[in-house]
Amino acid sequence: MIGHEQHDIIIAIDGPAASGKSTTARRVAKKLGYTYIDTGAMYRSVTLKALEHDMLDRLKHSPEDVRILLDPLSIEFQGDRVLLDGRDVTAGIRENRVSREVSFISSLKPVRDRLKTLQQQMGEKRGVVMDGRDIGTVIFPDAELKIFLVADAAERARRRYAELVQKNGNPASLPSLDELEREIVQRDRDDAERAHAPLRKHEDAIEVDTSSLTIDEQVELVYSLAMERISAGTSRA
């Protein structure tokens, strides 16, 4: 055959809350014709399931009971929609009550083990952009491109606030900007200090500070890094 075989890679995008991972990952995936996998949505789905079963207090005393939520558990992506056990939970998983509890649920080893298996299956054919906290360190340490997105906390709170206003419409029902910033900083601390798969930058990851970048600029930057890696792999093939 004349020409190059397409060399599909894995792009891992990690970083703290509201650093722009999902917007960047979704748009880079679209430009490349890759699949976007939002692993935060998966942890949020398990958290929503725990809230719906009124299990938060019980899990704080008996974390091993989380197995009730995992057996059975199905999480699927259909375009931009997230299906939990066959039900569309796309809006529900973004509610702030989920954001407040998700770090606790995602610190539980049985939850991490189950989602790790699902995520590795989703990426096994490569050609994926996956974002989260531990993608470059634990899920795909062999990802050809690893990005660690950061931004200062005040800027991240402003972005998350604007996103919540856009989705909820009514700022009166939302936490204040200060409260949101405190919650984000607390969540980062919880994610970074947990025992299993804590948030941290892989030594090979490229750190990108998005505090003063526009979304278009950060998408272009990650896309051009991806194109470099794809053509490096193709010329070696």
Residues that bind ligand CDP (CB under 6 A): 17-18, 22, 39-40, 43-44, 102-103, 106, 132-135, 187, 191
Choose between 210 and 230: whose C-beta lies nearer to ligand CDP.
210
Choose between 150 and 230: whose C-beta lies nearer to ligand CDP.
150
Find the shortest distance in angstroms from Cβ 172 to ligand CDP.
22
Choose between 139 and 230: whose C-beta lies nearer to ligand CDP.
139
Would residue 14 be called left, alpha or beta, if left means φ above 0 and alpha means ψ between -120 and 50 degrees?
beta
Distance CA 215, CA 23 (A): 8
Full strand arrangement of the beta sheet holding 87-88: 75-78, 81-84, 87-88
* Phi, psi dihedral angles at 149 (to 5 degrees): -90, 130
- What are the Cα distances from residue 65, in Å, to 23, 41, 44, 59? 34, 22, 18, 6
Choose between 9 and 135: whose C-beta lies nearer to ligand CDP.
135
Choose between 18 and 230: whose C-beta lies nearer to ligand CDP.
18
Choose between 181 and 191: whose C-beta lies nearer to ligand CDP.
191
Q: Which of these, 112, 103, 95, 108, lies nearest to 185 by C-alpha position?
A: 103
Find the shortest distance in angstroms from Cβ 190 to ligand CDP.
7
* Number of other residues whose CB lies within 10 A of the CB of residue 77: 16
Q: Which two tokens stand for residue 232?
A: 């490096």
Find the shortest distance in angstroms from Cβ 13 to ligand CDP.
10
What are the b/e assignments for 149-167, b being 16+ CB within 10 Å?
Answer: bbbebebbbbbbbeebeee
Choose between 7 and 109: whose C-beta lies nearer to ligand CDP.
109
Find the shortest distance in angstroms from Cβ 170 to ligand CDP.
20
Q: Which of these, 167, 154, 191, 171, lies nearest to 16 by C-alpha position?
A: 191
Four-CA torsion 85, 90, 92, 93, nearest 10 degrees: 80
Find the shortest distance in angstroms from Cβ 234 to ligand CDP.
29
Find the shortest distance in angstroms from Cβ 60 to ligand CDP.
16
Find the shortest distance in angstroms from Cβ 43 to ligand CDP.
4
